[in-house]
Each structure stands twice: as C-alpha cells, then as structure tokens.
Amino acid sequence: MISVEQHLDRILSTVKVIRPFEQGVLDAQGCVLAEDVTARGSLPGFTNSAMDGYAVHAADVASAAPDSPVVLPVVTDIAAGNTRPLSLAPGQTMRIMTGAPMPRGADAVVPVEATDGGIARVSITARSVVGQHVREEGEDVEAGRVVLRRGTLLGPGQIALLAAAGVARLRVVPRPRVVVLSTGDELVEVGRTPGFGQIVDSNSVMLSAAVTAVGATPYVVGGVPDDARVLMDTLEGQLVRADAVITTGGVSMGAFDTVKEVLSRVGTMQFDKVAMRPGMPQGFGVLGDEAVPVFTLPGNPVSALVSFHVFVAPALRQLAGRPEPAWPPGYLTAVATETFRSVPGKMEFLRVILDEDRARLAGGQGSHMLAALAAADALAVIPPEVTEVRPGEQVECLPLLGREAP
C-alpha cells in the first residue's frame, strides 16, 4: 500500500507540460502563455475623448462658472469612428463623443453635463483644465512594451489586452486533450435503457464534465467490453490524439479486471493500492511513443470522481502549464456538525454538504452512491491517522468541481 502523496508525487514527477502551440486569441481562454508578448501598437492608439461633451482649448473656458457661462460656436460633431483628422481653432468648440479622436489644438473636453447641450453654439458653465477628460495616446500601453509575460494564465481580461494591442495569434500551452474510456461488459451508452444486469455508463459523461471543468478538452470513447484485445486496440487507436487518457473500471481484484491485466505488461504502467477511501486501486503510467500519461481509475463512480479530483485534476493542470496549489488541499476549512468516522490508515474522502462554514454528510457514503455524490459540495479530507472528527472540530474540504461558491 502506498500513500496518496506518494501516488500523486509519482504522477506529477512524470507529467510534462504540453508543447506550446500557436493559437488565435479567441481560443486562448484558460491557456497559459508560452512567450512574452509585446504590444504591436499603443493603447490608446490616438488621443481621444473620455466623455461625451465638447472639445475645447482649456484656456477659452478658464473662467466658466454657473453664473458666468462661456458661449462658444460649435463647428462640427466628432463621433467615435471618425477617421478624418480635424483641427480646432481657439474660440471654437466641437461636439465630441466618448472614444472619438481629439481634434488637433484641443486640450480638454467639457462634459455635456456642464453645458446646455447646444448644437450650433454651446453655453459652458464649468471651467476646464488642460488634459481634463482626455485619454492620451499610449497612456495605457506603449507600443513595443511587453504587455504579458510567459506563464500568465489567460482569462477574459488578458485576452482583451492582447486583442486591443494588435496580437491576434500567440503561443500558448494548448488545452490538454483527454480521452475518456470506460470499461465493463455491463455498460450501455447514455440515453439507452439498460437491460437486466446492465447499467448506464455514467462515468464517461461524469469524467467528460470533470475534464471540461478543469479547462481541458474531453474525447469520450464510451464503454468498451472487458476484452483484452478490444481494449488494447481501442487504446492504441486513441493514443494518437491524446495528451492524457483516463480509463475507469477493471483495476481491482475481480476475475474480469481487464485493464490491470492488459496494461500491467506495457509501457511504464504500475498498479498500486493507495491508502485512501474510496479509490484504493489505482494505476498510472505512460504509454506509446509520445509517452501519454494514462490514469486507470476504479469503476465505482464515486471512487472515479474522487480519484479525478485528487490525482487527475492536478496532473491536467500541470500538463496545461498551470501552477498547482500544494497538497494537502487547504482549499477551505469547515466545521463538522456531526461525527465523521474514518477507517484508520487511509485518507478518507467524505461527501459533505457545506452550509457556510459548516459541513455535514451528504448521505450514503458507499462508493457506488450517486445521490449523495450529487448532493455534495465538497470532499471532507480525513487524514489517515484520524479515525473520528467530532462535532465542532475543523475539517479540510476539497471543493467538488463545479460546486465551488460562485
């Protein structure tokens, strides 16, 4: 028997960051930048108005006040998108919209709220100073400057900056492509009605959802029978498009546990008993010319999902070049509202419902029990040496994917 930490260490010391790839900004969400990126142009690209109002020479309105307005002729309108260069003579004004280029000579914008909104002539009732409500060319970003560093995780804000700075394509670590394969003669595809002795292959859709939730791309193969030849052929066919493979089922002590039987002989696959509950039988190794990491998870749905959270999610984040928070996952601490029992010598992952900072059991803790899994918000992590958590004591919880507090 090995510890959870030992198994995770072996996985994380094996998994390498995926080779970077050039991608369009539109596809870069959630990816990690693989190069420093410099701005192609300045931001703003031209000096423009920060308000709807009137472009002026500030000196012309230096004395404007509610009881002594300054009246100026309005020579033209400048809308956002105006591409015609304009010049403003002293003693005149132009009506200007937010984002429209400032006319040459103008050095301030009087907001429309400080005027009578005139069209041919405008009465201005507040003074202005040079630069007021003007966005200077390059004040946000200077052309040629590094705007984002290699290693940055790209979200909507970073993507906006790249797009605005003229970067349409960039090198990122691609989203991991993850093949999800279930094994078992008893499985029928989702949407089919299982016959007697059969069950719906819920692991495929569960793990596909989990893969998506960590920002990777799932490829669902579906269920394959407990047949060595079929399993091997299917795996070989799938390896070419995979950055990782997840299988479920067939790794325990049963007579038809084909995954373990077949894969024990190939690649660097190693099958271990891990001191955890649920999820004790685990297999991991790399297969094929490209050394694709393969995770063979137990078949019971709760075991498979716990294994995903504990072993696969950190590995997928590492493949994607993301920094990984340290184990144990001190993500959130809750207070037990009832007694949690745990077997000695194993790390126990209990399905719990969180109510603010209080945790209670979500229901039946059997590794086949989907109702409690679906009710749960988190996994309470009970260390191997702890056999009982009493009401009022603190417990560390690993939030379940997709159930984090918004």
Q: How far is the CB of 183 from Mg ion (least distance, A)?
A: 6
The binding track of 166-185 with respect to Mg ion, each residue x by CB under 5 A or -, is ------------------x-
- Using CB under 6 A as the binding rule, whether residue 201 contacts ligand AMP is answered as yes
Residue 186 binding: pick among ligand AMP, Mg ion, none (C-beta 5-8 Å cut-off by kind): ligand AMP
Contact (CB, 8 A) for 281 and 271? yes
Report the distance separating Cα 395 and Cα 338, nearest Å: 11
The binding track of 231-270 with respect to ligand AMP, each residue x by CB under 6 A or -, is -----------------xxxxx-x----------------
Asked, as a colleague might, if the bond just before 344 is cis with ω within 30 of 0, I would say no
- Using CB under 6 A as the binding rule, whether residue 185 contacts ligand AMP is answered as no
Q: How far is the CB of 306 from ligand AMP (least distance, A)?
A: 13
- Using CB under 6 A as the binding rule, whether residue 187 contacts ligand AMP is answered as yes
Number of other residues whose CB lies within 10 A of the CB of residue 384: 17
The torsion of the CA quartet 5, 7, 13, 16, rounded to 10 degrees, works out to -120
H helix intervals, 340-398: 370-375
The binding track of 84-123 with respect to ligand AMP, each residue x by CB under 6 A or -, is ----------------------------------------
Residue closer to ligand AMP (CB basis): 204 or 238: 204
67: three-class secondary structure by DSSP: coil
Contact (CB, 8 A) for 349 and 306? yes
Beta bridge partners of 336: 359
* Cβ-count burial 210-224 (b if 16+ within 10 Å, e if not): bbebbbbebebbebb
Nearest CA to 380 out of 277, 282, 296 is that of 277
- For the segment 3-32, give every residue that binds ligand AMP (CB under 6 A): none
The binding track of 246-265 with respect to Mg ion, each residue x by CB under 5 A or -, is ---xx---------------
Nearest CA to 348 out of 398, 312, 284 is that of 398
The binding track of 330-369 with respect to ligand AMP, each residue x by CB under 6 A or -, is --------------------------------------x-
Judged by CB under 6 A, which of 92, 128, 234, 300 binds ligand AMP? Answer: 300
Binding site for ligand AMP (CB under 6 A): 182, 184, 186-187, 199, 201-204, 248-252, 254, 298-301, 368
